[in-house]
């Protein structure tokens, strides 16, 4: 009997996705299990590549949420390096959000077409400020301190490390004999020069000696260490940003577009509104090739409206997050698994991917979300305690923690988080979220490989090698499910022990 026939010879136990979710009761990820399939491949053969939007692919189906305790540039950089994508929050000014996006887009490049430069009269204080705010050194010095003027030197850490007087001009310490490349050089040729000359930065000049672009040695190492990085067509890390439906967001989108943002998330707690539809249509009409994710939605009708308005992806979830109390406070929302299945089934008719947002606290939840139609998972709780998340660690009862708050918590709304709710600026605030804390989870650079391996093992148990095959199995009824009673859920977790040590979600 061939492997193919082993795979096909199924006695169809359980329910199809359509049968499971046709029940008139809302289901969460814990209310069902995927029945095991046939294994004829190793976990290493599982491919986690997926679509985030119609035109943006990711190597891993992980997205960090646009929350002010989850995603700024450090998180977005780490997510992109590991094959996912981060969405910069908008609890800030336009300039601040643009700055965060710019840090991501400049972090890793082929040719850096807009390098930071200084003039000869700038001081070491200016260099220190660049290092502090943008995280890099090795600054080209041009005649007038602008891009595309004549290169006269370069300043690196070696030139300034032992200078105590930070008020001196850079012309006194800069290296003037600079190894350069000629405009038109290929990236491989530039990299060969960097390796041969053992230099950190290679300025690219035109025939008049004017600076055209810059190539960085550190990018070579990043390309080697992070082969699955999410990159745009110019080899820059991908990055998303959230905006509200308020009028000021039109100006915000324009500024983010100029900064090179790859995708805009229209961030509304209830996305089925005339305000979001108008914002979607505005963005699609005015910003060429800018992908837009609409949401949040939880029903087929909501999904239909946003898809018709031009959404390239949908964000699914209303109230399932660990810090969200919308369902209790507003009595509106939907159980998350049901919401994901129903919207994904409808959006698939238009080839629009959906992102499961909320209710994810372990690898099994991620696997279940993908199994019922999601193309990616947006997570706040899972990433909030990592070293790349904004905020400082603190200790409580000897446990190392970080702050985590819902954007509809009173604390976050005071900082601007209420822009995602239609409250018309009322002085009285009705909280739909809480503030709390989460345990230290280490670095994203270690945490995502842990999540990825767990997800590959789950796919192996299901009998599917790719997200696309998994979704095909769902549509064709070959992927089978079973409802779980409360006692089955209890039995499926740790039970009957006198004591035990729980596995940590902290990546070492």
Q: Which residues are annotated as a binding site for K(+)?
A: 319, 321, 324, 486-487
Q: Where is the binding site for IMP, in residues?
A: 322, 357-359, 380-381, 404-408, 432
Q: From the candidates 30, 252, 420, 465, which is the catalytic residue?
A: 420
The CB density around residue 126, as the number of other CB atoms within 10 Å, is: 18
What is the distance between the alpha carbons of residues 50 and 57, in angstroms, rounded to a whole number? 6
**Structure tokens that stand for 413 in this block:** 């709304």
Residue with tokens 């904004």: 390
3-state secondary structure of 239: coil
What is the distance between the alpha carbons of residues 14 and 33, in angstroms, rounded to a whole number? 10
| Catalytic residue flag (residue 324) | yes
What is the distance between the alpha carbons of residues 23 and 18, in angstroms, rounded to a whole number? 9
The answer to whether 170 and 120 have CB atoms below 8 angstroms apart is yes
The DSSP result for 35-81, as a single string, is: PP----S-GGG-B--EESSSS-EESS-EEE---TTT-SHHHHHHHHH
What is the distance between the alpha carbons of residues 491 and 30, in angstroms, rounded to a whole number? 12
Residues with Cβ < 8 Å from 95, sequence gap 6 or more? Answer: 255
- In angstroms, the first-to-last Cα distance of the chain is 44
The answer to whether 473 and 10 have CB atoms below 8 angstroms apart is no
What is the distance between the alpha carbons of residues 284 and 173, in angstroms, rounded to a whole number? 49
Q: Where is the binding site for NAD(+), in residues?
A: 267-269, 317-319
**Structure tokens that stand for 132 in this block:** 């502090």
Using DSSP, how many helices (H) and how many strands (E) does the chain show? Answer: 19, 20
Q: Where is the binding site, in residues?
A: 267-269, 317-319, 321-322, 324, 357-359, 380-381, 404-408, 432, 486-487
**Structure tokens that stand for 252 in this block:** 């915000």
**Structure tokens that stand for 31 in this block:** 């209310």
Q: From the candidates 30, 239, 324, 465, which is the catalytic residue?
A: 324
Parallel, antiparallel or unpaired: strands 32-34 and 376-379: unpaired
Residues with Cβ < 8 Å from 406, sequence gap 6 or more? Answer: 67, 321, 323, 324, 325, 412, 417, 432, 433, 434, 435
What is the distance between the alpha carbons of residues 147 and 149, in angstroms, rounded to a whole number? 6
Q: Measured between alpha carbons, how far is residue 69 from residues 115, 121, 415 in Å?
A: 29, 39, 12
How many residues are listed for the chain in this entry? 508
**ω into 296 cis (within 30 of 0):** yes
| Residues noted as catalytic | 324, 420
């Amino acid at each position: 009997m061939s492997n193919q026939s082993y795979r096909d010879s199924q006695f169809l136990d359980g329910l199809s996705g359509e049968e499971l979710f046709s029940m008139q009761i809302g289901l969460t990820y814990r209310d069902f299990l995927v029945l095991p399939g046939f294994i004829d491949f190793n976990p290493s053969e599982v491919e986690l590549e997926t679509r985030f939007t119609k035109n943006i692919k990711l190597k891993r189906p992980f997205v960090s949420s646009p929350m002010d305790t989850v995603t700024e540039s450090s998180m977005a950089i780490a997510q992109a390096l590991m094959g996912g994508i981060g969405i910069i929050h908008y609890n800030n000014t336009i300039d601040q959000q643009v700055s965060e996006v710019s840090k991501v887009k400049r972090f890793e490049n082929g040719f850096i077409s807009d390098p930071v430069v200084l003039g000869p009269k700038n001081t070491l204080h200016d260099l220190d400020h660049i290092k502090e705010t943008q995280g890099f050194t090795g600054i080209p010095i041009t005649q007038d301190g602008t891009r595309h003027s004549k290169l006269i030197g370069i300043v690196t850490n070696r030139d300034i490390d032992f200078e105590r007087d930070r008020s001196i001009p850079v012309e006194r310490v800069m290296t003037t004999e600079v190894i350069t490349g000629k405009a038109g050089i290929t990236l491989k040729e530039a990299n060969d020069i960097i390796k041969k000359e053992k230099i950190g930065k290679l300025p690219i000049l035109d025939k008049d000696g004017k600076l055209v672009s810059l190539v960085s040695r550190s990018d070579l190492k990043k390309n080697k260490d992070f082969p699955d990085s999410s990159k745009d067509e110019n080899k820059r890390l991908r990055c998303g940003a959230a905006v509200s439906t308020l009028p000021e967001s039109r100006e915000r989108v324009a500024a983010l577009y100029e900064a090179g943002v790859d995708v805009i998330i229209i961030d509304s707690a209830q996305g089925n509104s005339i305000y979001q539809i108008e914002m979607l249509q505005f963005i699609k009409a005015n910003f060429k090739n800018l992908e837009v994710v609409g949401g949040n939605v939880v029903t087929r009708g909501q999904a239909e409206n946003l898809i018709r308005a031009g959404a390239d992806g949908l964000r699914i979830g209303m109230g399932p997050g660990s810090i969200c109390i919308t369902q209790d406070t507003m009595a509106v929302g939907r159980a998350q698994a049901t919401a994901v299945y129903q919207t994904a089934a409808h959006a698939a008719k238009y080839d629009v991917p959906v992102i499961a947002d909320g209710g994810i606290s372990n690898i099994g939840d991620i696997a279940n979300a993908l199994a019922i139609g999601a193309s990616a998972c947006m997570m706040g709780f899972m990433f909030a305690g990592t070293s790349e998340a904004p905020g400082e660690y603190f200790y409580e009862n000897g446990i190392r923690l970080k702050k985590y708050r819902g954007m509809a918590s009173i604390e976050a709304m005071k900082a601007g988080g209420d822009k995602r709710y239609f409250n018309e600026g009322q002085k009285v605030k009705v909280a739909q979220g809480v503030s709390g804390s989460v345990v230290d989870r280490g670095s994203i650079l270690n945490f995502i490989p842990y999540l990825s391996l767990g997800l590959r093992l789950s796919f192996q148990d299901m009998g599917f090698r790719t997200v696309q095959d998994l979704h095909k199995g769902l549509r064709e009824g070959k992927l089978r499910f079973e409802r779980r009673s409360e006692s089955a859920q209890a039995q499926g977790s740790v039970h009957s022990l006198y004591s035990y040590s729980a596995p940590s979600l902290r990546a070492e």
